[in-house]
Amino acid sequence: MNVLCASAAQGLVRALQGVFLEFTGARIHGSFGSIGQLRDSFLAGAACDVLIVTAPVVGELQADGRLADSEGVLGRVRTALAVRDDASRPDVSTPEALKAALLAAPALYCADMQRCTSSKHFGAVLRELGIFEQVKPRLRCLPNGGDAMRELAADNRPGAIGCAQTTQIRYAQGINLAGSLPPQFELAMVYSAALSARAAQPEKAQRFIDLLTGARTRVMRTQVGFEAVPAGESTAGACIQASDLGGGNVRPPQGEGAARRWGFFR
């Protein structure tokens, strides 16, 4: 079964692969990347049973008849800052403090600013702070947030900072969540999973969507950084304002056996 999945949900999908194979006999072939990459691949005809992207993109593709009308909401994911787990967390609670921390950083890691929404937003924040040109030589833009966080973990220079989504930060080894962007700069996106209109295995695909977004995995979604979207709240918009995340990581188990070890399917 083919799944095109945003990098923000990569850890969750990988954690559930083994259990889904055991229950259904279907092996998941996941392709992970930025929203722009996935949308382009999907429109170009890439094999896809389930598409996991932001809710607005799901709505757009549903309107074109490319996705089934029903969808499952994984939750809301915030854009945040990260540092190596042996580094002290900088103060990023105000625009002034954030500006000082970014100017002091020897390197700034993020995803592709042209194709990744959260990194495009980070670029806009740098411009709003008036420091984009100053820090541009220190920007390290990788294909996706997961890659960016791995590179940050490998950078032993004091003060290096990364910007990614909380799900990517919490799942990465060797880094910690430093905090969210100041409220006036905060970005959060709602992610949904939907059945492709050209799904080769629609029944199994729908079962996987139900597993990803259902009650049995609610705790796991919360632990990896997905926040519940209150009942009745529209998922049409990608951006919201919200309170600070605070620091620290609650790192979930890694690998395909994680879901079983957490006891969600006993």
Tens-digit pLDDT profile for residues 169-180? 998 999 999 999
- What are the boundaries of each domain within the chain? 2-76+189-234, 78-185
Mean pLDDT for all residues in the chain? 88
- Judge whether 18 and 257 are in contact, CB under 8 Å: yes
- Do 2-76+189-234 and 78-185 agree at the fold level? yes
What are the tens digits of pLDDT across the range 177-216? Answer: 999 999 999 999 999 999 999 999 999 999 999 999 999 9
The predicted structure's pLDDT at residue 247 = 35
* The dihedral formed by the CA atoms of 64, 67, 69 and 72, expressed in degrees to the nearest 10: -140
User: Domain 78-185 carries which CATH code?
Assistant: 3.40.190.10
What would the mean pLDDT of 82-88 be, rounded to a whole number? Answer: 95
The predicted structure's pLDDT at residue 171 = 87
Instruction: Say what the pTM is.
Output: 0.81
The predicted structure's pLDDT at residue 234 = 52
Q: Tell me how crowded residue 20 is: count the other CB atoms within 10 A of its CB.
A: 22
The predicted structure's pLDDT at residue 261 = 39
CA atoms of 192 and 221, how far apart (whole Å): 13
CA atoms of 146 and 132, how far apart (whole Å): 22
Share of the chain above pLDDT 70, in %: 87
CATH of 2-76+189-234, one of 3.30.479.10, 3.40.190.10, 1.10.1040.50, 2.40.50.140: 3.40.190.10
Please compute Rg for the chain using Cα positions.
18
The predicted structure's pLDDT at residue 70 = 87
Beta-strand pair 50-54/2-6: parallel
What would the mean pLDDT of 246-262 be, rounded to a whole number? Answer: 41
- Name which of 91, 142, 145, 152 is nearest 118 in CA terms: 145
What are the tens digits of pLDDT across the range 43-64? Answer: 999 999 999 999 999 999 999 9
**CA 56 → CA 136, 154, 266, distances in Å?**
30, 34, 35
Q: Tell me how crowded residue 137 is: count the other CB atoms within 10 A of its CB.
A: 7
